[in-house]
């Protein structure tokens, strides 16, 4: 698993697939998990976090693409 910091609150977790599984991305809000201010599965993204989130998603896409390329090359 790779963790990419989006902001002081948000983190993007990249779980690469193992033995044929698909990659999985999880966006987590540390504050919401700690204080329970949102329902399960809900992450609030503030306007100031949008650009950093786009950057984190691009980084995650690179990690997933690397893993896919490795799987194709080495089976």
Q: Phi and psi (nearest 5°) for 50?
A: -65, -50
Neighbours of 69 (CB within 10 A): 10
Give me the chain's average pLDDT, please: 83
Q: Is the pLDDT of residue 39 over 70?
A: no
Domain boundaries, the chain: 2-74
Q: What was the pLDDT predicted at 23? A: 77
Q: Is the pLDDT of residue 73 over 90?
A: no
Q: Is the pLDDT of residue 16 over 70?
A: yes
Per the confidence metrics, is the pTM higher than 0.95?
Answer: no
Distant-in-sequence, close-in-space partners of 38: CB < 8 Å, separation ≥ 6 = 29, 32, 44
């Amino acid at each position: 698993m790779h963790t990419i910091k989006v902001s002081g609150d948000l983190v993007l977790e990249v779980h690469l697939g193992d033995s044929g599984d698909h990659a999985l991305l999880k966006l987590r809000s540390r504050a919401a998990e700690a204080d329970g201010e949102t329902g399960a599965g809900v992450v609030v993204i503030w306007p100031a976090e949008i650009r950093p989130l786009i950057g984190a998603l691009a980084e995650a896409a690179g990690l997933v693409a690397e893993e896919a390329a490795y799987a194709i090359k080495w089976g």
